[in-house]
Structure 1
Amino acid sequence: MTAEPRARVPRRPVHGVLLLDKPVGLSAQTAVSRAKGMLAAEKAGHTGTLDPLASGLLPVCFGAATKFAQLQLDADKAYEATLRLGVRTTTGDAEGDVVTVAPVDAVMLAPERLRALAQRFTGEIEQIPPMHSALKKDGKALYEYARASIEVERAPRRVTIHALTLEPVADDPAALRLTVRCSKGTYVRTLAEDIGAALGCGAHLLSLRRTATGGLSLDDAITLDALQALPPEERQRHLLPTEALLRGLPTVALGERDAGRFLSGLRRRGPWPDAALVAVFGERPRALLGTARCVAGELIPVRLLSPTEIAQSLQPSFP
């Protein structure tokens, strides 16, 4: 007896941002696919990958919000991590093979030494990207070379560590807790290895959790399991509006006539100060229209929503 084919759930337009608390062991793309299915959404994407070994904040963009995902990709990030001291691995994390083992001295974890070390790694620093990363060389990801046991030369990259704290783990004398706020492109795995080298014992990343990106916080996130447990009409209520991706940008409000012309791609003139990027809203009803640059009193469209996307964003997705 053949099994009945499963009914296909019809997709619908969904617009907004879902803050997911991604679990360890799940790829970012798999998490996005599951969330997309739970909301029966037509279009979804994320704002920058999060390794399967890492947990924490993964903003998922739906519909119109996908147009502004790049802003979060470029934003500062915040992480909490645990380092295993005295052990270096081939990958810089717990999945790799052990390369070296060294003793960990309690003197290494003295508060004044950790404060000095945190200060040393705060500010603009150079990092050599790890071989086990998605960074590409000659069209191929570095981790593909690493899997083939091929070491390729990587140029150092400059990143910025805005804030860094290092604290011993009370019940584990060979572990160190790290919290960091950093610029895009920072490899926390490399930071862990460099801190271990500076301590003289080596280290690798035991766990990693992203707590913030841009103006978005893990405090507002929901797990996939919790989302799945909700009735379909309740899941939609966990979406933030698309403009959540534009937090921190200056705003410009346009009347009905100017809003229509702006959405046609026309520049508008007004008393706006110069700005590299602003969020542009229509006044009545208040709705996000897109982003623009302000140059010499001119509002120059950068990324626009379509009238359909705007209308759908103003309507509830469930009757």
Structure 2
Amino acid sequence: MERAPKPLVHGLLLIDKPSGPTSHDVVDAVRKALKQRRVGHLGTLDPIAEGLLPLALGWATRLAPILTHYDKVYETTFRLGVETDTHDRTGHVLAEYPIPPDLNEAMITEKVQAFVGEIQQVPPLISAKKYKGRPLYWWVRHGKPVPEPPPKPVRFHEIRVLRYDPPFLTLRIHCSAGAYIRALARDLGRALGVGAVVFEIRRTRWGPHDVSETISLKDFLADPTLVAPHFLSLEHVEPHWPRLSAHPRVVERLLHGQRVPLPPLLRFIEAPERLLEFPYLRVFTTDGRLAAIARVEYPEWLHPAINFPPPTAETG
């Protein structure tokens, strides 16, 4: 079986996170298993959440500002009839409500539609959003007063009711980066007049990647070398982006922070029609090494966005 490169790994590792550990716990475990310092996740999962947790390894961590903007898909179960301070089942109960016996799936589906599209969503108080340089959850856990965070625009592309078995409501949710499922539970519960919290949640998709591509955290920790089917090397990250095989002088200019004119390079770009679809382009050296990610200003320029050191550089 193909094995991930050793001893230093650069790329994306797709982990199936279990319910329980924090996303940082998973990162820390992978760092220790690989004996590699540069590891980070590309989208937090709450401790009770499970499913696809993408990890950036080595120089792939430089892609985080781009890859953290991916859409996500979740399957989640809300428990109706209760509100907690965290908007999930782990929090302190603030209120309980009776569930009307005539509340049915059709009525819930109608209410759900109000949240489809772009909405203004207030993030949960217990979240990683920053206030005075610290996450909101730090202030709450230390008993410090903190203002409610301002609403921010998020998009729910689809919210599908899968089943309603009172008091449990199971949904499939396709949303933008930055959307909080716990906040959706809070707001949908209030719209229904019965309250709601997240009872279970599983991330099934992140950008172009499906949970079927993952390796469980348990299996990875048992043998970190057998990760090849769940690992994307740096050269294979974002294969749908256009690819430029660049002359050394072009690579050098980009690596030195200089923009380069796009028109003379079009004949060296694979799938140049995708330049109108994607804002970024992968820049490869003539020997096939990914040297940079460039931002496309079509049809005039390529701007340097992310550079990757050559193999001789320190990479731990």
- TM-score with structure 2 length normalisation? 0.84
Match for residue 302 of structure 2 among 299, 304, 311:
299
For residue 274 of structure 1, report the CA deviation from its aligned partner. Answer: 6.7
Aligned equivalents of 2:202 and 2:312: distance in 1? 33
C-alpha distance 129-282 of structure 1, shift in aligned 2 (>3 A): closer
Q: 1:210 aligns with which of 159, 180, 203?
A: 203
Alignment of 1:192-271 (within 5 A): 192-230=185-223, 232-235=224-227, 238-271=230-263
Query: What SS does the corresponding residue of 2:311 show, helix, strand or coil?
Result: helix
Q: Is the 8 A contact 2:118 2:156 kept in 1?
A: yes
Change beyond 3 A, Cα 1:140–1:268: closer
Rounded to whole Å, the distance in 1 between the matches of 2:45 and 2:237 is: 18
1:22 matched to 2:17? The reply is: yes
After the TM superposition, which residues 26-65 of structure 1 pair with which residues of structure 2 at under 5 Å, given as runs? 26-65=21-60
RMSD: 2.6
Q: Return the alpha-carbon distance in structure 2 between the equivalents of residues 168 and 237 of structure 1.
A: 33
| CA shift digits 1:80-121 (9 cap, x unpaired) | 1110011111221111122222222343223x3233222211
2:108 matched to 1:114? yes
Q: Letter of the 1:227 partner, please give it.
A: F
Task: Name 1:178's counterpart in structure 2.
Answer: 171
C-alpha deviation, 1:251, in angstroms: 3.3
Change (3 A) 1:248 1:267: same
- Unpaired runs of 5+ residues, structure 1, are 1-10, 313-319
Cα distance between partner residues in 1 of 2:52 and 2:312: 26
Residue 100 of structure 2 is matched in structure 1 by 105
Partner of 1:159: 154
- 1:6 aligned partner: none
Deviations 1:20-43 (A, max 9, x none): 011111111111121222223342
Query: Is the CA contact 2:38–2:57 (under 8 Å) kept in the aligned structure 1?
Result: yes
Q: For structure 2, list consecutive stretches of 5 or more residues without a partner in the other structure.
A: 1-5, 267-274
Shift of 1:189: 0.4
Instruction: Please report how far the alpha carbon of residue 137 of structure 1 lies from its aligned counterpart in structure 2 after TM superposition.
Output: 1.7
Q: Secondary structure at the match of 1:50?
A: coil
For 2:270, the equivalent position in structure 1 comes to: none
Assess if the C-alpha contact under 8 Å between 1:215 and 1:247 holds in 2.
no
Query: What TM-score results when the alignment is normalised by the length of structure 1?
Result: 0.83
Percent identity between the two aligned chains: 35
Q: Aligned match of 1:132 in 123, 126, 129?
A: 126
- 1:191: how far off? 0.2
